[in-house]
Amino acid sequence: MNLRWTVGLSLTLFLIITCGCAYRHYLGLHGPSIRLSPDVHVGVTEDRECLACHDPAKDPTGPPTSHPGFTGCLKCHNDELRAKGKLPTESMS
């Protein structure tokens, strides 16, 4: 019985850690930043603005999202861009 409980708890924790958006962001498993196309995404601050162009049900003008029901688009798609080989704390010049 103790082994079942341990395996069940381990599996549950694994699923929570790997499936949650915040955890995927922490692990670097999130989508591309809108900062890669700043001219197209000027002033985008809300989910509805993201889904206006990326919702697959609305004939998207941009690449369709695979998760239109999620909220918090900019939590995972608004990362600072880093120069290749530089850490975020280092100078970009």
| 46 or 13, greater pLDDT | 46
- Other Cβ atoms less than 10 A from the Cβ of 31: the count is 15
What pLDDT shows up at residue 86? 46
Confidence of residue 57 (pLDDT cuts 50, 70, 90): very high
- Other Cβ atoms less than 10 A from the Cβ of 55: the count is 16
Average pLDDT, the chain: 77
| Number of Cα atoms under 13 Å in the Cβ half of residue 71 | 0
